Each structure stands twice: as structure tokens, then as C-alpha cells.
Chains A and B, each alone.
Chain A
Amino acid sequence: MRLRRGRLLLMGARVGVITFPGSLDDRDALRAVRLAGAEPVSLWHADADLHGVDAVILPGGFSYGDYLRAGAISRFARVMEPLIDAAKGGLPVLGICNGFQILCESHLLPGAMIKNDHRTFICRDQVLAVENTSTAWTSAFTAGQRITIPLKNQDGQYVADERTLDGLEAEGRVVFRYQDWNPNGSRRDIAGVTNAAGNVVGLMPHPEHASELGFGPDTAKGPRAGVDGLGFFTSVLHTLVA
């Protein structure tokens, strides 16, 4: 571990972003990684390995046109085999929107996503509460912190059976909860969850779209000044060098 830590400090952490056919937000995710101070690495869905990266992001989009079910076909992409192994071994993995759907289809995270209860696409700045700050991707936040990041999806309604939901609540694995308004009918206002180990996190809203001054949500400080999403990417850096 000392050697690994030394390498990370010397060369910077390498965070991979997988592009699937139909991914949309891979470039923004790569950019957010760079803004946080890590080295972004483009990964391809057909890759046979993870190119030795220290963490992986599954970006948003409509991989395979959401055909069959959102994320269902990407879940069987070649790169997913080494990714699932690595995730089970502790590699930090973040799934955003379509990436969250892929992680659920892979059963790395519990539950599934179905169409929004109002049946329409939604795009808005969404307030979330960060309820678990001990995951690989949320250590930069304070417990209960309210953050505002964009939400944009059609299949964003998080569902799971009551036993699974009770288990998630009891174990503190609900990482993000929608505040003020439930935008899609998700059970118990859940916006994001983690696995038991805390290295795999998935959420529907988009932190990568709120990581750079001038391009985020409007805030009291000014238009498009919201950078609440940057904490996801700085969190994983702290996790990697800790």
C-alpha cells in the first residue's frame, strides 16, 4: 500500500471514464476529474481491461438508446467484466444517471430504475441532501449537507422491494436524498445509494455538470456559479491517497 500511495502522490491519481455507445456526459466527467486535480483516462466499452486506473466513472447518457431497459445492454459490455471484478475488490466506482442504471443492472448496487412517475423527461437543478459521507465519493461533504446539481432523465424512478429499502436505510446506504420535491417518484426520495463497502456509489443527478464556475446551477453567488458537484471528484482523490 505504501508503494501505491507513493505512486499516487508522485504521478497523480488516474480516474477512468468509460464511454459506451450512446454515452453523453463522458467528456464532462473527464473534465471534472481534471478540475479536481486527477488525471482523466478515457476507457472504451470494448476494452478488455481497465488500463490500471485507480477509480472508474460510468457517465450519463442513453447507452444503446435505452433499448430493452436503461443500462441493460451496456451491463454486458466487455469492459464490465473486469470492472465488476475490480469493484468487488474495492475499486472506487461512481455511476451517474445512465451509469447508475448500469450499476443496478450489474447488481453492483441494489434496486432498479423505471420511467419517471410523471412519464416525461425532466431537466432541472435539484437539491439533494448528502446523508452518507463515508463513501469513496462523498468524504468532502458534511453529513446532511444540501447540494444543488443538475438532474436530467426519463428513467429516474428508483425502485426496490420494501425489505431492500429497509436494509439500505438501516445500513446508512442511502447516500443522497431528494430535498423539497421528489422529481420522479423514487422510493423514499432516494437519489443515490452505495454498496455495503462504500466504494461503489450511484446517483441519478449529475455532479459533473456542477464542477466548474460559469457552467453550473445558478446560486446566490451568481448565475451558473454552482460547483457543488466538484466534491465528488475531490472525495475520491482523498480516498485514493488516504
Chain B
Amino acid sequence: MGTVVVDVMPKPEILDPQGKAVASALPRLGFSEFTGVRQGKRFELTVDGDVTAEVLEAAHRAAMTLLSNPIIEDVVAVTAETGCACGEGGCC
């Protein structure tokens, strides 16, 4: 089983209200070193077989059409992740 990870972020010029809310909560917990937070989305697309070039290409198209809105978001990465069959991290 293979996985394609798609990372989507709000465009730099777009105000990110969720990131701002998180940023304002951090100092209350004592995290004073962070000057800003931007919150994006991570999608994990799984396929039965390996992540082939065709699968990656399809993931790119899915990322541009449905997973992101080009007016407000950027697809920052579409990467193949070689999965571990047991589904638990660290065993293989």
C-alpha cells in the first residue's frame, strides 16, 4: 500500500484566521518564542499498489482541482510516502 501526501497552505497574502487564533493561544501556555502561526491542510491519499508516476500525476491533478482552491491556497508539496503494511509507525 502506498500513500501520497498532499500539503496545502493558505497563500501568504491571505489572512489566516485559524492560524491567528492558534498564535494568540500559544503565549498563554508559555510558548513565547513563536511570532506567527499559519495553519494548512495535509491530505493522505492511499492506493492499493505502489505510488507510480501515474498515481503521482493523478494526485497532482486532484490537489489542483478539489483539494485546494488556487485563489486562496497553494499546493506546497505532493510527495510519495513508502508506507508500512502494519499501519503502525516505526516497525519497518
Contact = CB atoms under 8 A, between A and B. Distances in A.
Contacts of A117: 15, 17
Contacts of B69: 69, 72, 105, 112
B23 to A, nearest CB: 12
A109 to B, nearest CB: 11
A114 B66 contact: no
A114 B72 contact: yes
Contact of B15 (A68, A105, A114, A160): A114
A177 to B, nearest CB: 19
Nearest to B65: A76
Interface of B: 10, 13-15, 17-18, 20-21, 66-67, 69, 71-72
Contacts of A22: none
A117 B15 CA distance: 8
A112 B71 contact: yes
B13 to A, nearest CB: 8
B66 A116 contact: no
Given A112-B71, A114-B72, A119 B17 contact: yes
B61 to A, nearest CB: 13
Contact of A185 (B15, B21, B72): B15
A114 B17 contact: yes
B17 A68 contact: no
A103 B13 CA distance: 22
A159 B15 CA distance: 9
A68 B67 CA distance: 7
Given A115-B18, A119-B21, 18 more contacts: A68-B66, A69-B69, A104-B71, A105-B69, A110-B71, A111-B71, A112-B69, A112-B71, A112-B72, A114-B10, A114-B15, A114-B17, A116-B17, A117-B17, A119-B17, A157-B15, A159-B15, A159-B71
Instruction: Tell me the interface secondary structure of chain A in the complex.
Output: loop
A104 B70 CA distance: 11
Given A72-B66, A76-B66, A119 B71 contact: no
Nearest to A118: B17
Contacts of A114: 10, 14-15, 17, 72
Nearest to B67: A68
Nearest to A110: B71
Contact of B72 (A68, A119, A159): A159
A165 to B, nearest CB: 12
A201 B87 CA distance: 48
Which of A68, A114, A117, A159 has the largest count of B CB atoms less than 10 A from its CB? A114
Contacts of A118: 17
Interface in A99-155: 104-105, 110-112, 114-119
B14 A119 contact: no
A160 to B, nearest CB: 7
Contacts of B18: 115, 119
Interface in A191-221: none
A163 to B, nearest CB: 12
27 contacts: A68-B66, A72-B66, A76-B66, A104-B71, A105-B69, A110-B71, A111-B71, A112-B69, A112-B71, A112-B72, A114-B10, A114-B14, A114-B15, A114-B17, A114-B72, A115-B18, A116-B17, A117-B15, A117-B17, A119-B17, A119-B20, A119-B21, A157-B15, A157-B17, A159-B71, A161-B13, A185-B15
